[in-house]
A and B are shown apart, each in its own frame.
Chain A
Amino acid sequence: MTLPDLECLSLSKTFGGFTAVEDVSFAVPPSSFFSILGPSGCGKTTIMRMIAGFLDPTSGDIRIKGRSILQTPPNKRPVNMVFQHLALFPMMNVADNIGYGLRRKGVPRPEIDRRVGEVLERISLPDAGRRRVDELSGGQKQRIAIARCIVLEPDVLLLDEPLGALDLKLREHMKIELKALQAAFGTTFVYITHDQSEALVMSDQIAVMNHGKFEQVASAAELYYRPATSFVAGFVGDNNRWRGTLTRAEGDELQLTTDAGLVMTGAQHGRGLRPGDKAEIFVRPEAIRIARAAADIKGFDNRLSGKVTSTLFNGAASRVLLRPDGSHDEIQVALPQSGEFADLGRGDDVHVGWNAAQANVFPANDEAG
């Protein structure tokens, strides 16, 4: 197995009495796109600043290609960073911004010009060299900030929520472009964000972080379909979520009665829950099948009937809210856009069903978001 490009071992950081990062370990394989996803204040920026060298860890180690860099000052680390607000140097033009790091390495002038030209070519801004930084659009600045790091051929490129300042449309576009740039340069990217869609779209591996700890490190699909903790289940993607008490446990399959009195089954995926435990069950809206006739859903483990309380149209992400008969819980169900439910309206009777394997059950956790 090849050495990971970046490895953090039992990394911790405390500020006074506050623990920002607690015993975090992970490894990023070469040429991969690794994201740290978490709500603001979860400690992800602290990890990034420790890797870049602007903060010293309280304990633990950071290794690049197997070698500890804790004793290396930030300007000598083979790690470069794209800052949250980019931090392009306003007093220099584009070419001088990109050439800055090369000048620091003492690369000869003609060589700098050649490499700056090359990298500008690769980010499709071949003629931008002489332009001033403040003449660029948001997306162009973004690419310059990345080019300024890439030109130094770092072992790891850190990106600190670089898309946060862009408007929605450009953000969608830059997600695809960033992924393409990463693939084209083959550089290892470590990306931090609080926006799950950025992380899900671009990353090979995602670490979900909360309160200074990693909750789960996995691929996007795995996070989505097999969340390891209730925090991940609640944070990544939409979910129906009920609290209740377990009434039966058979192998992986559990039966749970919600606080509102609904009975449903779900899977625990080896989490060792027992009857009588307080638990939470998560079901994704798109895992639930909706039908007008009860017969259409008889193959599912869980079946409910109820009345539509409202429909929320949002293109491909449209939803139906419905209230099961005899309960005041509300269920969110994905609304298929194939046409058969186009005339669904408030008060209509519908039937819904889902399989136990699609419903994740976790021990009840009061603090999880």
Chain B
Amino acid sequence: MIPSIRQPAAFRILWKLYVALFFVYLALPLVVVSVFAFNDSLFPSLPWKGFTLEWFFGQSRPMIGVFNERPIMRALGNSAFIAVMVSALSVAVGTSNAFLFNRYQFRFRGLLYVLLLLPLVIPGIVLGISILIFSSNVANGLEDSFGWDIAALRPGLVLVILGQFSFVATIVTLVVSARLQKFDPTLEEAALNLGATRLTAVRTITLPYLMPALVGGFIVAFLMSFENFNTTLMLVGSDAPLTIAMFDRLKEGSTPLLNAVSLVLMIGSTGLALLMILFQGRKTGG
């Protein structure tokens, strides 16, 4: 069970074998997706017809590469835009929340904290439809009363951003709170003692201390937004982000183009995640 407890050799070998099998299970789907991005065939399946980079750089149909496929590139742009907006909003609100719950005692604090955690246990699709209903009610109300037609309240980029933000904000709040709790408040008092104002103390002492959590929170938010599907599905308009665009294509049948997109995504998100680990490792040590 632990190394100091002797166990039959067979048990240890079986256990290790199981762990190895588990990692094969984890890796298998990602490996096949990656490998078939290079198959010189119109279908992402066996037989292997030879190695090609056409699905990345191809110029002409049917083998048009990711980087030359306009709709995919546009969807990628949409995803990136949404993700940046969601991350920025979430980090701003999450940091504000973290300070609020760390620094102030107020009425209904406990209730609000539970409310803050709630988005984690609401199914994404329910979040999506409830925001959809609310925004349509507001939009219809404004149109009926004043004759204003506000496009932002109809399914589209703005609603997707708000929908994703509604639960990503909780996660960023938790990430930032965790680090703020470890902060030693006497450091801020020392800054005040040395002549800083309260705001300057936060800006020059507390925020730099929080920086790893802010960057980490931003990247986590970015990744979560980029791969979100359920909430987005209910709020999407004509400017579909990448996951929705890929989903629509996948329903029509798959080509190695989708493998190539997937591989690009994998490299991108793994790169981001590694960046985050490096950043955290470097900053939290000190």
Contacts and interface: CB of A to CB of B under 8 A. Distances in A.
The reply to whether A and B meet directly (CB within 8 Å) is yes
Contacts of B4: 49, 54-55
A355 B17 CA distance: 71
Contacts of A54: 4-5
A246 B6 CA distance: 54
A56 interface: yes
B12 to A, nearest CB: 14
Contacts of A74: 5-6
A92 to B, nearest CB: 18
Interface in B19-77: none
A90 interface: no
Contacts of A53: 6
Interface in A231-277: none
Contacts of A49: 4
A108 interface: no
A315 interface: no
A73 interface: yes
Nearest to A54: B4
Interface string A47-82: 001000111100000000000000001100000000
A265 B4 CA distance: 52
Contacts of B5: 54, 73-74
B8 to A, nearest CB: 10
A54 B5 CA distance: 6
Interface string B95-123: 00000000000000000000000000000
Contacts, number: 10
Interface residues of B, number: 3
A1 to B, nearest CB: 33
A49 B5 CA distance: 11
A215 B5 CA distance: 31
Interface in A20-57: 49, 53-56
Nearest to B3: A54
Contacts of A73: 5-6
Nearest to A53: B6
Contacts of B6: 53, 56, 73-74
Nearest to A49: B4
Nearest to A52: B4
Interface string B113-149: 0000000000000000000000000000000000000
A54 B7 CA distance: 11
A49 B4 CA distance: 9
B176 to A, nearest CB: 30
Contacts of A56: 6
A54 B6 CA distance: 8
Nearest to B7: A73
Nearest to A56: B6
A282 to B, nearest CB: 40
A355 to B, nearest CB: 51
Nearest to B2: A54
Interface in B139-183: none
A55 B4 CA distance: 6
B238 to A, nearest CB: 56
B7 to A, nearest CB: 9
A96 B130 CA distance: 50
Interface in B227-277: none
A74 B6 CA distance: 8
A56 B3 CA distance: 12
A28 B5 CA distance: 26
A354 to B, nearest CB: 50
A83 to B, nearest CB: 12
Nearest to A55: B4
A223 B259 CA distance: 77
Contacts of A55: 4
B276 to A, nearest CB: 34
Interface string A305-330: 00000000000000000000000000
A53 B2 CA distance: 13
A53 B5 CA distance: 8
B270 to A, nearest CB: 36
Nearest to B6: A73
A49 B6 CA distance: 13
B10 to A, nearest CB: 15
A167 to B, nearest CB: 26
A55 B2 CA distance: 12
B102 to A, nearest CB: 26
A325 B18 CA distance: 77
A74 B5 CA distance: 8
A237 to B, nearest CB: 35
A106 B6 CA distance: 23
A222 B6 CA distance: 40
A54 to B, nearest CB: 4
B5 to A, nearest CB: 7
B178 to A, nearest CB: 23
A274 to B, nearest CB: 49
Nearest to A74: B5
Interface string B172-198: 000000000000000000000000000
A352 to B, nearest CB: 53
A56 B6 CA distance: 9
A110 to B, nearest CB: 31
B2 to A, nearest CB: 9
A37 to B, nearest CB: 24
A55 B3 CA distance: 9
A56 B4 CA distance: 9
A50 to B, nearest CB: 11
B23 to A, nearest CB: 28
10 contacts: A49-B4, A53-B6, A54-B4, A54-B5, A55-B4, A56-B6, A73-B5, A73-B6, A74-B5, A74-B6
Given A53-B6, A74-B6, 8 more contacts: A49-B4, A54-B4, A54-B5, A55-B4, A56-B6, A73-B5, A73-B6, A74-B5
- Please give me the 5 A-B residue pairs with the lowest Cβ-Cβ distance, nearest first: A54-B4, A73-B6, A74-B5, A55-B4, A54-B5
Interface of B: 4-6
